[in-house]
Amino acid sequence: MEFQFPSGSLPTLFTIFLFIFMILKICKRHRTKNSNLKLPPGPRKLPIIGNMHQLVGSLPHHTLRDLAKIYGPLMHLQLGEVSAVVVSAPETAKEIMRTHDSIFSYRPLLLAPDIISYGGSGIAFAPYGDYWRQMRKICGSVLLNSKRVDSFQSIRDEEVSDLLKFISSNIGLPINLGEKIFSMTYGITARVAFGNKCKDQVQEELITAVREGAEATGGFEVADVFPSTKILQVISGKRPKLEKIHRKIDMILDNIVKEHKASKEEAENTGKDKANDLLGVLLNLQEHGELEVPLTMNNIKAVLLDIFTAGSETSSSTVEWAMSEMLNTPRVMKKAQAEVRQVFRTKGNVEETGLQELKFLKAVIKETLRVHPPIPLLLPKECSESCEIDGYGIPVKTKVIVNAWAIGRDSKYWTEAETFCPERFLDSSVDFRGTNFEFIPFGAGRRICPGITFAIPNIELPLAQLLYHFDWKLPNGMKQEGLDMTETFGVTVRKKEELHLIPTPYHLEPNA
């Protein structure tokens, strides 16, 4: 997504005053901030806006990769008042996220997460410190540990089964598979986060509100690159819009919490089993946990909102891209289907316990994450103290943007980097858990995504079921290789055109 500039007209005099005020402020800042540092190379900066014009109307991860080919893997940009560096190579990413990880574990204060995510108190944007360390530990060892993720298998089975039933009732007809995958993953995450009570209307209302928030937070905001000029937040209309979305989300979450507490009280009175959902776990920790930093209700809502949004968006976009790439590469589709149907040929259905045998499908998922990382520009970091990277000075408060999309397509590390070829992972130890810096779709270091263990089954199971039960073709007689793969940029990068396909049932041969 491009920069979003203020809409509407302003009195000429006020506009001129604001323009002159910003010039003086920025010039003063630059004279005092970076005068003695050798900054990384970068494209020529324009007065006031710096390099903002180069990110207008583009897919920024593409534009930044193209600029990095000219200026190098560590590139300096001036985005309004904000000094930024862009990382586009594995070795430089390793410097940032391993060698100097403690310095670069901070987040810049951005308008959208500050408003929508309760002052940035979720996992993703919480300031680096005691609160973040506590919540990171809770996520890793309590909320999303392997045992708890395994306990959600029945939820995954039920939601995927509902998807299969819908497809089976529309055999031979074009369906919006992308939208159905999206709804399925949100259904899984809603039940995991809030319990079985969060169904139907409430779930749809929350999904709608979260999608509005996602659309409002994607890309680079003018208010964020001129942070000292607070009035931009208002005249751009961004702050009022975000506050309206936040109020809507907060009201829905408040109602979910109230219903959850009432259900918990009823369960205690009747001797029923306690809920295993994440909201219940967090409420129990708030009441009975021995925590260094007390959990407020806003903290709980912020963490659940992070899990609900990130846990759904990343999984659904990956499943949709994987199906799209396999349709575009029929050889891969045929091979993946053959594997799934061979492994589960005597079962008549895919069972989660057998997913470990699907070596090629796992390679397909890795290759999809390589060429289509859900968040191509990892969540921004901020330098907490001046340091040196690759011989260049990085000033304190510099914004750091890691281009995971460009790194995953670096021809120095990947043969035929632009080609979708899952076989590259079959005999490779390269993984996405933050130790191989040429492949970091979930980030690395202290700020690596804590939900990897939760996300992967939500990708593997639906993909395996879609491949096992159905054959697929494009509508209107389109050839598979002609599928539109254009991206649209937001919180995650999805297909610009949702995936519409025609399913036909697969019938297991009796003697297979």
Q: For residue range 250-302, what is the model confidence (pLDDT) as tens digits?
A: 999 999 999 888 887 777 766 666 667 999 999 999 998 889 999 999 999 99
Give dist(CA 444, CA 92) in Å, integer. 13
Summarize pLDDT for 350-389 with one digit per residue, the tens.
Answer: 999 999 999 999 999 999 999 999 999 999 999 999 999 9
Whether pLDDT at 54 is above 80 = yes
pLDDT averaged over every residue in the chain: 89
Instruction: Give the mean pLDDT of 446-457.
Output: 96
CA 233 to chain centre: 25
The pLDDT of residue 218: 66
Q: Are the C-beta atoms of 93 and 104 separated by less than 8 Å? A: no
Q: Are the C-beta atoms of 124 and 492 separated by less than 8 Å? A: no
In three-state secondary structure terms, 76 is: strand
Instruction: Give the mean pLDDT of 132-147.
Output: 94
A 10 A CB-CB count for 94 gives 20
pLDDT category of residue 32 using cuts at 50, 70 and 90: very low
Per-residue tokens: 62: 């593409």
**Which of residues 366 and 194 earns the better pLDDT score?**
366
Summarize pLDDT for 143-178 with one digit per residue, the tens.
Answer: 999 999 999 999 999 999 999 999 999 999 999 999
* 387 marked as binding residue: no
The pLDDT of residue 368: 99
Taken in order of first residue, the domains within the chain and their CATH numbers are: 12-505 (1.10.630.10)
- Strand pairing class (175-176; 500-505): antiparallel
- What is the chain's Cα-based Rg? 24
Report pTM: 0.92
The pLDDT of residue 1: 40
Torsion, Cα of 70, 108, 34, 49 (10° steps)? 60
The pLDDT of residue 275: 65
CA 108 to chain centre: 17
The pLDDT of residue 56: 80
Ranking 125-129, 235-239, 445-449, 508-512 by mean pLDDT, the lowest is 508-512
Of 274, 278, 260, nearest in space to 143 by CA: 278
pLDDT category of residue 58 using cuts at 50, 70 and 90: confident
Instruction: Give the mean pLDDT of 140-145.
Output: 93
User: Among all chains, which residue has been given the structure tokens 């990708």?
Assistant: 459
The pLDDT of residue 26: 53
Q: Within 13 Å, how many C-alpha atoms sit on residue 210's CB side?
A: 27
The pLDDT of residue 187: 93
The pLDDT of residue 451: 93
How big is the CA angle at 377 (ends 221 and 411), to the nearest 5 degrees? 145
Q: Are the C-beta atoms of 234 and 19 separated by less than 8 Å? A: no
The pLDDT of residue 8: 41
Whether pLDDT at 182 is above 90 = yes
pLDDT category of residue 217 using cuts at 50, 70 and 90: confident
Instruction: Give the mean pLDDT of 30-59.
Output: 82
**Which of residues 346 and 56 earns the better pLDDT score?**
346
The pLDDT of residue 375: 95
Ranking 88-102, 181-195, 204-218 by mean pLDDT, the lowest is 204-218
Whether pLDDT at 5 is above 50 = no
The pLDDT of residue 501: 96
pLDDT category of residue 16 using cuts at 50, 70 and 90: very low
In three-state secondary structure terms, 392 is: strand
Give dist(CA 216, CA 112) in Å, integer. 8
The pLDDT of residue 235: 87
